[in-house]
Structure 1
Amino acid sequence: MPLTGSLKTLLLRGLLAGLIAGLLAATVGFFVGEPKINAAIAIEESQSQAADTHEHGAAADQAASGHSHGDEEEPLVSRSGQKAGQFLALGLFGMAIGALLAVVANVARRYSTLSGPRLALALAGGGWLAIVIIPFFKYPANPPAVGDPDTIDQRTWLWVAVVLLGFAAVGVSVYVFKLLRGQLGTVRLIGAVLALVVVAGIGYVLLPGINEVKADFPAALLWQFRAASLAETGTLWLVLGLGFAALTEFAANKARTAEAVAR
């Protein structure tokens, strides 16, 4: 069952599947990720209060000279607003990724012998590997209490670089898999996996490391947050792939039924 339909049809499938995936991922983030973020923020606030208490004597001298040390800026978006806003943000992000998946599927169907649902799942799995998994093992996600604000630009560019590395690794893996056409299926799979690991490993060595986690930050909370982050992104890509595949299969079955009735 090849992937059928115009680009417009594929885009509509991708947008719908992406919206559902984004909202479900936001739900996972709300119930699984937010408690970890709250805990990390509480640690950051307690450390800040301890620092303020330690510097109370200096602050009192500054206040006597007319300078107020206790003024605190209110956040631009409250925590409740951030929690609600992630549903909008991930819904839009899911739609964007779904549209991108549709465009890639439109091109890939010309070169692939996979059925429509399998192609959708394969593309979603490749995107998850390139955008989430490969970057994660080099630069894993950190909670708000971790990270130096002065290095945010550097970390952003390094994340872009590792995502490009992910696409390169997945691309080489697919190329090796096709290159081994005619070999046993397990041989092709082993070759593809080895290509992925080698390319990713070379990139890991060349890219600089970043470790801004404070020594006193709870290791358990750190890895619980990272696991929650993986659960959220995993939900997004899994639902996106399954949703796009299901819509593709539903459309194909509907077309076959209509053709049978017309006969």
Structure 2
Amino acid sequence: DATAHEHGTADAGGEEEELVSRDVQSTAGLATGVLVYGVAVGGIAALAFCFALGRVGRFGPRATAALVAGAAFVTVYFVPFLKYPANPPAVGNPDTIGKRTALFFLMIALSVLIGVAAVILGKRLAPRLGTWNATVAAGLGYAVVMAVLAFVLPPNDDAIPDGFPAALLWDFRLASIGLQVVLWTGFALLFGTLADRALAPAAPAAERAPVAAPAV
């Protein structure tokens, strides 16, 4: 729908040549992008899982994978999304795409760094405040710092063009969030199950040996 709206406005004002057509972007390009992104962030999340296992509490592999997935969704996507939300085609000036991309990745980097600092702070406060209170305090600290950074960082200069359907913009951003929810839920469930199997303690040799039949 956003592509059709873009073509309609381009026909009115002269359509520019596209290096990669919208049809390719929405089919093979989208599939390739999701695959590459999923493999990349999945590998990074697997490294984070290996570091977090046994260091953030007495959680097993499945629970640790769920915690890593939830933290990654919040810090890598959702919080930066609140400042710089995703926009569909026909929204955004192509001349400012470099600036917008830099700001978005800067927000991601700051969110991850502050998130790691919040985890370290929570671990240090846990002996004095207790695990629950330390977690709440660290979470509130992360939220306050990120709110200040979001206020300080410059906004996107691209305004929503006149006549662009608000419902379409809302649906596109919901779809963007939904894609990330599916991605990180899949990581938590599938990776957590596979990691739990791989890290399960091996049965003792005495238990693995077959039981001999009694002599008659």
Shorter-chain TM-score tier: 0.7 to 0.9
Which of the numbers 80, 88, 104 marks the counterpart of 1:159?
Answer: 104
**Could you say what secondary structure the match of 2:163 adopts?**
coil
Which of the numbers 166, 173, 177 marks the counterpart of 1:226?
Answer: 173
**Could you say what secondary structure the match of 1:100 adopts?**
helix
2:34 paired residue number: 90
Q: In 2 relative to 1, CA 250–165 (structure 1 residues): closer, same or farther, beyond 3 Å?
A: same
How far did residue 239 of structure 1 move? Answer: 0.6
Of structures 1 and 2, the one with the larger relative CO (CA 8 A, separation 6+) is 1
**In 2, Cα distance between equivalents of 1:47 and 1:74:** 15
Aligned length: 206
AA at the equivalent of 1:121: A
Which of the numbers 159, 182, 205 marks the counterpart of 1:235?
Answer: 182
Q: 1:176·1:195 contact (CA, 8 Å) conserved in 2?
A: no
Per mean C-alpha deviation after superposition, the further-off stretch among 228-237 and 117-126 is: 117-126
**In 1, Cα distance between equivalents of 2:105 and 2:18:** 31
TM-score scaled by length of structure 2: 0.84
AA at the equivalent of 1:129: V
TM-score scaled by length of structure 1: 0.70
**Root-mean-square deviation (Å):** 2.4
1:261 paired residue number: 208
More helix by share: 1
1:108 paired residue number: 52
**In 1, Cα distance between equivalents of 2:49 and 2:145:** 24
1:195 paired residue number: 141
**In 1, Cα distance between equivalents of 2:94 and 2:21:** 18
AA at the equivalent of 2:139: V
**Could you say what secondary structure the match of 1:180 adopts?**
helix
Q: In 2 relative to 1, CA 217–247 (structure 1 residues): closer, same or farther, beyond 3 Å?
A: same
Q: In 2 relative to 1, CA 51–87 (structure 1 residues): closer, same or farther, beyond 3 Å?
A: closer
How far did residue 78 of structure 1 move? Answer: 5.7
Q: State the identity %.
A: 31
Q: 1:166·1:200 contact (CA, 8 Å) conserved in 2?
A: yes
AA at the equivalent of 2:192: A
Which of the numbers 44, 51, 76 marks the counterpart of 2:6?
Answer: 44
AA at the equivalent of 1:123: V
Which runs of 5 or more structure 1 residues have no equivalent in the other structure? 1-38, 53-69
**In 2, Cα distance between equivalents of 1:86 and 1:50:** 27
**Could you say what secondary structure the match of 2:173 adopts?**
helix
Q: 1:129·1:170 contact (CA, 8 Å) conserved in 2?
A: no
**In 2, Cα distance between equivalents of 1:262 and 1:203:** 61
**Could you say what secondary structure the match of 2:48 adopts?**
helix
How far did residue 73 of structure 1 move? Answer: 3.5
Which of the numbers 157, 163, 168 marks the counterpart of 2:113?
Answer: 168
1:120 paired residue number: 65
How far did residue 81 of structure 1 move? Answer: 6.5
Alignment of 1:25-40 (within 5 A): 39-40=1-2
1:213 matched to 2:175? The reply is no
Q: In 2 relative to 1, CA 74–142 (structure 1 residues): closer, same or farther, beyond 3 Å?
A: closer
**In 1, Cα distance between equivalents of 2:45 and 2:6:** 38
AA at the equivalent of 2:193: A
Q: 1:168·1:199 contact (CA, 8 Å) conserved in 2?
A: no
**Could you say what secondary structure the match of 2:126 adopts?**
coil
**In 2, Cα distance between equivalents of 1:81 and 1:216:** 24
